Amino acid sequence: MNKKYDVFSLGNALVDVEIEVSAQELARLDIEKGLMTLVEQERHDYLLSELQGKSHQRASGGSAANSIFALAQLGGKGYHCCKVAKDEAGDFYASDLNSAGVDNNIAGLTNNDGTTGKCLVMVTPDADRTMNTFLGISSEQQPEDIDPQALMQSEYLYIEGYLVTSESNHNTALAAKKMADDNGIKVAYTLSDPNMVRFFRPQIEQILAGGVDLLFCNEDEALEFTEQGNCDAALESLKAQARQVVITLGDKGALYFDGEKTHAIAPFEAEAVDSNGAGDMFAGAFLFALTQGYSADNCGKLASFCSSYLVTQFGPRLKASAVQTIQDFNQELQSS
């Protein structure tokens, strides 16, 4: 039976502001380069006022949201479950999802007094991204915010790893996973960031208890979680946690264990200016291909192409002018 949604995603709702900065600027402001750090609103606003750099247009972000936008840009049907406040940023976020054709739970939220979450994304000349995040109300998701009907009509539940930072969000993720497991919905999970693995291992292990259908991680996260010395050993270890595993390797491509064999996914050459959202784009494109029944090799090719194309521009999502390029590549892939 065909499901209404390819993917039901669960994640933080954050309005991203992206600024090009130097590594020296990060050091001056005591910001840890290359990682996601949670901050209070006062710190977020202070950094925003202090940073001297080129600002880019704000975007509705959050890891899972970026992935579901990617899936929608390729023609997939997604649903995003999140929490925003009744404020201007929350209205902006809802409008962005709706205009992209991503169904969501925002209109039905009732317990949403507060401030919509924000993420300050700082991009250095080496294309590395550093994030300082004020979660705001996005950290207050409750199990009752989940639309069970939408989840039941989805092929995959996709949970972002950043939800472990809040007890409320973590409990909501556990509730969603149980609902999916009880009703035969496949579960995909992403480790999201080395700091999540470093500081929230027990919560991640709770999510992975009983296994998931698909696990996404990058090389740093894989090595940190498995405590192995190389990616091949990490992949072997992760097979105990998931039926299928993807480890992204930056400009070296990715590894994909499809449940039976391991595929080396080749990279596409790209002049990177901003790595923000690259892993999210990879996951979204990969989930799109997987739910459309693509071969293992073509799942990898599409995801690799999309993420390599994304890093050539600023921002966590492809601009409208670039969407046609990935759709054309997808068409070529299907006809080859």
Tokens of 72: 């929608």
Q: How many CB atoms lie within 10 A of CB 333?
A: 17
- pLDDT higher than threshold 70 for residue 1: no
Q: How many CB atoms lie within 10 A of CB 22?
A: 13
- Superfamily name and number for 5-11+62-114+140-335: Ribokinase (3.40.1190.20)
Q: How many CB atoms lie within 10 A of CB 99?
A: 9
| Arithmetic mean of pLDDT, 20-36 | 93
Residue 208's SS3 state is helix
Amino acid at site 82: C
Q: Considering the chain, what is the average pLDDT of its residues?
A: 93
pLDDT reported for residue 80: 98
Contact between residue 208 and residue 173 where contact means Cβ atoms under 8 Å apart: no
- pLDDT higher than threshold 90 for residue 228: yes
Tokens of 200: 């929230």
The percent of residues in the chain predicted with pLDDT above 90, rounded, is: 78
Give one DSSP letter per residue of 125-187, joined into a string.
TTS-EEEEEE-GGGGG--GGGS-HHHHHTEEEEEEEGGGGGSHHHHHHHHHHHHHHHHTT-EE
CA distances from 14 to 153, 159, 327 (A): 26, 15, 27
Tokens of 244: 């299928």
Tokens of 31: 């910001």
pLDDT reported for residue 111: 85
- pLDDT higher than threshold 90 for residue 270: no
Enumerate the domain spans of the chain: 5-11+62-114+140-335
Amino acid at site 43: R
Which of 51, 5, 58, 3 has its CA nearest to residue 31? 51
Tokens of 191: 């480790």
Query: What b-and-e string marks burial along 182-208, b requiring 16 or more CB atoms within 10 Å of the CB?
Result: eeebbbbbbbbbbbbbeebeebbebbb
- pLDDT higher than threshold 80 for residue 316: no
Residue 247's SS3 state is strand
Tokens of 138: 């996005």
pLDDT reported for residue 271: 81
How many whole angstroms separate alpha carbon 335 and alpha carbon 165? 43
| Arithmetic mean of pLDDT, 170-193 | 97
